[in-house]
Structure 1
């Protein structure tokens, strides 16, 4: 058999789950590497070989296709595997490795957006309870190769006063005319709301949804991609519209956007990330930036292999070094272990606090908070059976602690529950030790497209409302629907404690195979950038995600 380093890859992923009594006992997906001449056989033949190999283990399995890869850098496909009997992961993996068409196989990994958020101590399948696992139930995606036309906008950027640009010298690059003009940058992330003021002048030349297919890359479920895009590409929001002086680092570049995280999920899958990277590379972009990562990994991981091949082919690839609380510890994790690419760590520059809140009605909202039941759904609290929904959900707002997971009587996430129909959510901060570093403000992704507005408030305010509700008092809040009524202000203060230093939650390397990581350090804590409209257009968050763009 030829040397493996010259072989393309056939991707598959590994995902185990316990199914309902009438469903599959075992669910997985896998990645293999094989000779391209063998892979030219039909994909149906390959899947048949897989199920036949597993039948020899006594398992009756069905393999269904996901993504197809036809690239000079990566050739193959990905598929789901469902079995009606129990199978050990390593046994299934070895059975696939033993196939004639297979040279090497790996489990697919889950990769998280590298924002600095607290651990909610809940299992992955309960991250968004009641939402169908899209890893198995979304349609097969065949990526479009037709580019969207580049839309030229006559929008001038703001004067570059953003602290992160002043501290790093980007303002001086902009002053000399280095603004990204003529460069194409692919941003691979959760989703993008390009309708917000800060992205009104950003040139988007191509979009691709790797989850559902088509070119629509926006949803009302995640803020991460919008924030990342603003850091590198924001352009066109004047100060008069509360633009806060935000310019992207390369605001004159043309952007290609790839959505790789579904609504109701907190992770992206390896094959979707690889599909986005390969398509971006095939389209000839100059830069790929992706702020996702995972647990410790070696450079032989398939996503890292693809990133390495693209980098060696001349594409600048920027990936996240990882946040320590996510499990990376001192080591670089996931795709960041790729060779021949740049990995971003983060520092603590200046501190900002924007306060814009939109998408709330001008009328008062009745505060509603659930009652705990002793029964729990996994690590989530279950609403008591005798808890009645609000009389008028459209004029009510759900109040819960930021770190708590709540489900209704059917096990569905309370913020997405059809029993309660909340469209507005208010979360108060969890308790933190007095000696702990001050965290970035916490924002919350939406569990459902129906969510219209989410706001974070102080712990003291939240507890005072809970105390009043406990006494059966009626509590209402009026939330400003515009920045004028909300008396929005922006404060910039010098960070004399940790300015310019590596943040306390940044993974500091090395990689597991002993290479120096990260290779580049950039601001990543308390970063001001664009947010989706349901969160107020602007927000400050932190993480290696923010340093990567």
Structure 2
């Protein structure tokens, strides 16, 4: 883990606290917090001039990076020794955040180039195909802003309808990319200064792919850029705005994102899409705050929920956490285009390892050798001993694709050293995955059911040989049509129901920059978010004078398609699929809504037992609705007794019950009725393991063919204030030493020389904390102050960290040079005299008042000397 030590110092001035500083250390990686740069939000009525005067009056040496009107604030660079808390203490300041860096989410790039739109179920899954065919809706007249890496506006898929050629001039008459701005320039990485210009050309690809999902049209392209297969985006006549916030490499700062959001609104965008990467925490971040303001002014913000499904609960992304924003989960396309292998009469798709990087073409004489235990079950191939007594020379090994013990490279090396010709790993639990492998060695991921079928066929006849296809073909994907494994789980730090809804995001064919082949198949919530944005464009066109903003989100959530896991019997948790897979035809056809669009029951201690819902009938005749309830699978990440959530979630039948004040209700046209719901927590499930339960309340109209409407609810069984905060089983928190760009352990009782050494207090947060701090106590157990870090005193709300990245345990740390802030109101750090001290790391438990130490999880690093 790289750590950059930036010594923190403050001006020794006395300031009266007026605002809140949000210390984001722990919410995002420390390397993604930009030193000495801040976002300021003013109180209502405070002008930019008044804020500048306040800064000048306190002799803050600063430079304005951006000023925001709707957000009512500014981004500044500070050259003096004032930190974020000093800025927050200025009169008129409401909130201050460090500027943080946002990434383009990592997406899965398939080996396939395309899938036939007549064979895939992409638009069929969502009713968009019917909307196109029967209602002739195309998004015409609706404006969608893409805040991303830019858009290749010259791509012929973005040409206006009827244009004889592609869109070869920026914002020209034949171009549907009519608006845009480059906020950063090609060379911007997030670590240097942006150089804006008027040309939002995409040099990465992500934004072009996103824009194509919203409104690309590759059905009638001729010439040099004919697609591998014809396809059409969700809203093929939508007007696009390209707002480039990433350079050709690197990340983007929060200050840039806010500027792009305001520009999109001022350009008249109806919808903005933000497929951005970020951590998981609370809704108190500047993009969420601005998003809610824009939503109240009529603009719709759609954001990706994140691709951290392998991390377990509490991982839904920050960008869409605003109350009025829409956080979008991903559903996997039902079909994909893959190369296949043939064995014993069956054909099975495979995904080659990236370090092999090509179609597998082994001799037709190659046979299969599974690695299995004494019970006949596949093993992972992580130990060379598993090959003992097995002849694998020139043969293809089949192993279990469980990567919790070792990576694909290690397995490939073991298999190659044993003489194997290749290696297949059967993914768990479903689908295929991306694996690295090693260079020059044929290795591929296959689906779980494919692995079972190969193993069963081998046991019947070990002499079967393997054939390898020369060309890709359309195959139904295991787990297709339901929520993607990679899609992140909620809930957020306040036990709020996020994500909101889902869209197709797995195996999506769309545009790519012409300089990079023109087309690509990618997977991620980056892809599902623009699908929902395009769907809203169709809705807005179809309902010209109809609902907008939050009302539209409610309609989409009310009418979504509820799904089960692949071959599962219970509905997918609302903390995974939200209200379900978007169904545009249902949304346009419904004559009823349910308010609110979700219910947060919280935990056992704060249980909101009684809830009211309002059903509105905006149809043309009286309708009778039957009320019912369907429970979804519960999520348990704490079944192993450890303090860190287990990424392998245990799915349980912990079902709540719902009683209705009336089971049927008759509502005249244009009228509403209110129903009282009485919830009871699940009887099943261990409250000490904090299972997250959920389900759906459904109102079904009596008229045959009418659309039923529903809302999700979520809750947590147990006392959320007892959810473990820190990963102590692995020895965290602990004190280590920064050496260059590395972190090295130190012996207990080490005597520090902070004039020459830099320490780091390492920790791992498994859940969100309202207040996370690191402080120093002397040998008499007297509080001496909070650690002085890059961003000021080491305290503030914090978010859950990931578990493992690139095979390594994820950890965060407070970089420390030995100084402390004597209190939360101190404006300058001080050095403590030589002696023996203790470092106390404390995480406030959720839903507590913050009384110390009763409401905190507290751990002590003793015997720290200097």
Distance 1:46 1:235, change over 3 A: farther
Distance 1:462 1:531, change over 3 A: farther
1 CA distance for matches of 2:282 and 2:510? 32
Distance 1:544 1:66, change over 3 A: same
> How many corresponding residue pairs?
370
Deviation of residue 253 (structure 1)? 0.9
- What value does the CA root-mean-square deviation take over the aligned residues? 4.0
Higher share in strand: 2
Task: Spell out the pairing of 1:106-505 with structure 2 (5 A cutoff).
Answer: 106-116=97-107, 163-175=121-133, 176-201=135-160, 203-211=176-184, 212-220=195-203, 222-238=204-220, 241-242=226-227, 244-265=229-250, 267-324=251-308, 329-353=313-337, 434-435=426-427, 462-463=440-441, 491-495=473-477, 497-505=478-486
Aligned twin of 1:512 = 493
Structure 1 unmatched runs, 5+: 19-25, 54-61, 119-157, 356-402, 405-430, 443-457, 465-487
Distance 1:30 1:335, change over 3 A: same
Aligned twin of 2:49 = 41
* Contact 2:179/2:267, CA 8 A, preserved across alignment: no
Deviation of residue 325 (structure 1)? 6.3
**Any idea what SS the aligned residue of 2:207 has?**
helix
* Contact 1:292/1:319, CA 8 A, preserved across alignment: yes
2 CA distance for matches of 1:327 and 1:460? 25
Aligned twin of 1:75 = 72
Deviations 1:392-441 (A, max 9, x none): xxxxxxxxxxx99xxxxxxxxxxxxxxxxxxxxxxxxxx99543565577
Deviation of residue 231 (structure 1)? 0.6
Deviation of residue 38 (structure 1)? 4.3
Deviations 1:494-548 (A, max 9, x none): 12x2022221111121222222111111111111111112321111111110000
2 CA distance for matches of 1:309 and 1:219? 28
Deviation of residue 16 (structure 1)? 10
Deviations 1:65-104 (A, max 9, x none): 211212xx31222122346xxx7xxx82221111123222
Deviation of residue 39 (structure 1)? 3.3
**Any idea what SS the aligned residue of 2:68 has?**
strand
2 CA distance for matches of 1:331 and 1:13? 16
2 CA distance for matches of 1:197 and 1:243? 14
1 CA distance for matches of 2:150 and 2:106? 15
Distance 1:164 1:259, change over 3 A: same
Aligned twin of 2:38 = 30
Distance 1:335 1:326, change over 3 A: farther
Distance 1:440 1:42, change over 3 A: farther
Aligned twin of 2:783 = none
Deviation of residue 12 (structure 1)? 12
2 CA distance for matches of 1:299 and 1:320? 14
1 CA distance for matches of 2:117 and 2:277? 33
**Any idea what SS the aligned residue of 1:187 has?**
strand
* Contact 2:310/2:486, CA 8 A, preserved across alignment: no
Q: Does 1:525 align with 2:501?
A: no
Deviation of residue 249 (structure 1)? 0.3
The TM-score, its normalising length taken from structure 2, stands at 0.39
Deviation of residue 276 (structure 1)? 1.1
* Contact 1:10/1:78, CA 8 A, preserved across alignment: no
Structure 2 unmatched runs, 5+: 1-17, 110-115, 161-174, 185-194, 340-407, 410-422, 443-469, 531-866
Deviation of residue 29 (structure 1)? 1.0
2 CA distance for matches of 1:82 and 1:346? 43
* Contact 1:352/1:540, CA 8 A, preserved across alignment: no
1 CA distance for matches of 2:476 and 2:55? 59
Deviation of residue 462 (structure 1)? 4.3
Distance 1:328 1:213, change over 3 A: farther
**Any idea what SS the aligned residue of 2:281 has?**
coil
**Any idea what SS the aligned residue of 1:292 has?**
coil
Q: Specify which of 516, 522, 528 is matched with residue 547 of structure 1.
A: 528
Greater C-alpha Rg? 2
Distance 1:193 1:161, change over 3 A: farther
* Contact 2:48/2:67, CA 8 A, preserved across alignment: no
Deviation of residue 192 (structure 1)? 1.5
Deviation of residue 34 (structure 1)? 2.0
1 CA distance for matches of 2:424 and 2:317? 27
Aligned twin of 1:474 = none
Deviation of residue 260 (structure 1)? 0.6
**Any idea what SS the aligned residue of 1:229 has?**
helix
